[in-house]
Amino acid sequence: MYKTLLVPVDGSVHAEKALAVAAELARSGGGTLHLLNVAEATPDNIGILVGGSTEPMSEAEREKLAEGVRKAGEKVIDKAKAAVDLAGLEVKALVRQGKAGERIIEAAEELKADAIVMGSRGMSDLKGMVVGSVSHRVSHTAGCSVITVT
């Protein structure tokens, strides 16, 4: 039934629960899990935020920052993999940077995902209450099924 499942993970308990549900769906249908971590976009002149230069970042600085974001995202994905039994499943990892809702929708479209399986809340519960949760936004804009796990 579900051959391509996208599972956004952010290190939260809700994301781990969603991954467990997605793993069962993948097992029953022979599907592939695509674990996605999205890091917030970093401003080009981050130095001003930390008391440094107001100049835009150099290409080398930007690449170093992107590498750090990628490694941090891979750690979050590895933590999620360790928390759930994924034995026998095909699992792929994706790390993106930007606004979580937008990147989740983009990844689902690129993968032609049959479903997005995500937690109802992530690491930023307070922000979600103020500006609207990512899961709410994704469930209303995705072109595929969205399964929200509480």
- Contact 29/55 with Cβ under 8 angstroms? no
Each residue's pLDDT tens digit, 4-24:
999 999 999 999 999 999 999
Task: Supply the pLDDT for residue 139.
Answer: 94
Task: Confirm if 30 and 132 have CB atoms less than 8 A apart.
Answer: no
Domains of the chain are 4-149 (3.40.50.620)
Over residues 53-80, the pLDDT tens digits come to: 667 778 888 888 889 989 999 999 999 9
How far apart are alpha carbons 138 and 128 in whole angstroms? 13
Task: Say whether 49 sits in a helix, a strand or coil.
Answer: helix
